[in-house]
Amino acid sequence: MRFDVITLFPDLFREFLAAGIVGRAVEKRIVEVMLHDLRSHGDGAYRKVDDTPYGGGGGMVLLAGPLSRCLDGAQAAVSGRGRVVLMSPQGRPLDQATCRRLAREPRLLLVCGRYEGIDERFVETRVDEEVSIGDYVLSGGELPAMVLMEALARLLPGALGDATAADRDSFSGRLLDHPHYTRPEVFEGRGVPGVLLSGDHAAVERWRAEEARRITRRKRPDLLATEAGGDPGAERDQQAGPSSDRTRDDAMAKRADRPDAAQRGRS
Ligand code: ADE
């Protein structure tokens, strides 16, 4: 999978791309990442990338021209246009269903917004979808882009050491993960649940399934809602997966319907 990242701060990505799961995926050529410095497409001798908003008000707005030139250049560099994703607090909140869908794309171009906004004409003419990493505002899309890349990289075949690890994660089904324990057997007077030391694999699996349900009920009861929801972004996806995947994903996507998420507004 190839990522093209459009950003004013390419240096922020360098350590991230060299470490951990993403670093390993890059090294194994499962993931290829190209960083595109928006500044180098800025206007004039000063490489201007933003200006004050029409209509007044505070803050600066990223110019459509430099963004478009940067994006168009990135798209022209290799064949396959790719899907253009703008990281934005106005986007659909990221969830595992969206990650699974986007991980099927061969190429994503991630646009990192900055400052107070981005000229709407760039969004209208170039952006396929907007993704938010949560209902809070950051000063730029760089951290959200890293979050998205990490979440997608772990889903790509061969990226994780243990091929089944991604399936066991919280959110791969509709339940949170069960608790985990490792050595020592007693820590600050607290032991490990006896069943985990019993050697009875069936009993361990039963305990983990029950704990996953108990923890989900306690921490995220909204995840237990089973009515089918949907992943609206998937409607534009030509490569949607088999219906069995979709049914499970849809139950996860339902989270976007919870009341707190409905309060999202433009900021
Ligand atoms: N840019 C600023 N805040 C963001 C958020 N919450 N998600 C994605 N991109 C953003």
**Is residue 169 over pLDDT 80?**
no
Whole-number average pLDDT of the chain: 86
Helix, strand or coil, per DSSP, at residue 108? strand
- Domain contains 122: yes
- Domain contains 36: yes
pTM over 0.75: yes
**Is residue 244 over pLDDT 80?**
no
| CA 175–ligand 1 middle distance (angstroms) | 26
**Is residue 252 over pLDDT 70?**
no
Q: What is the pLDDT of residues 27-70, one digit of tens each?
A: 999 999 999 999 999 999 999 999 999 999 989 999 999 999 99
Ligand 1 close to Cβ of residue 7 (< 6 A): no
10 upstream amide cis, omega within 30 of 0: no
**Is residue 246 over pLDDT 60?**
no
Ligand 1 close to Cβ of residue 85 (< 6 A): no
Ligand 1 close to Cβ of residue 89 (< 6 A): yes
**Domain limits at 129?**
2-153
Higher per-residue pLDDT: 218 or 168: 218
What pLDDT shows up at residue 164? 66
Please report which confidence band the pLDDT of residue 245 belongs to, taking 50, 70 and 90 as the band edges: very low
Q: What is the pLDDT of residues 105-156, one digit of tens each?
A: 999 999 999 867 999 999 999 999 999 999 999 999 999 999 999 999 999 9
Residues 253/97, Cβ–Cβ less than 8 Å: yes
Higher per-residue pLDDT: 155 or 264: 155
228 strand-pairing partners? none
- Domain contains 134: yes
What is the average pLDDT across 75-101? Answer: 96
User: Which residues are identified as catalytic?
Assistant: 89, 116, 154, 169
What is the average pLDDT across 225-254? Answer: 40
Q: What is the CATH number of the domain that holds 37?
A: 3.40.1280.10
**Is residue 100 over pLDDT 90?**
yes
- Domain contains 161: no
Atom of ligand 1 nearest to the CA of 131: 8
Ligand 1 close to Cβ of residue 138 (< 6 A): yes
List the residue whose alpha carbon is closest to atom 7 of ligand 1: 132
Q: What is the dihedral of CA 153, 159, 161, 164, to 10 degrees?
A: 70
- As for how many domains the chain has, the answer is 1
Q: Take residue 93 and report the two structure tokens written for it.
A: 């909140």
Q: Terminus-to-terminus CA distance in the chain, angstroms?
A: 32
List the residue whose alpha carbon is closest to atom 2 of ligand 1: 138
Q: What is the pLDDT of residues 2-21, one digit of tens each?
A: 999 999 999 999 999 999 99
- Domain contains 65: yes
| CA 191–ligand 1 middle distance (angstroms) | 41
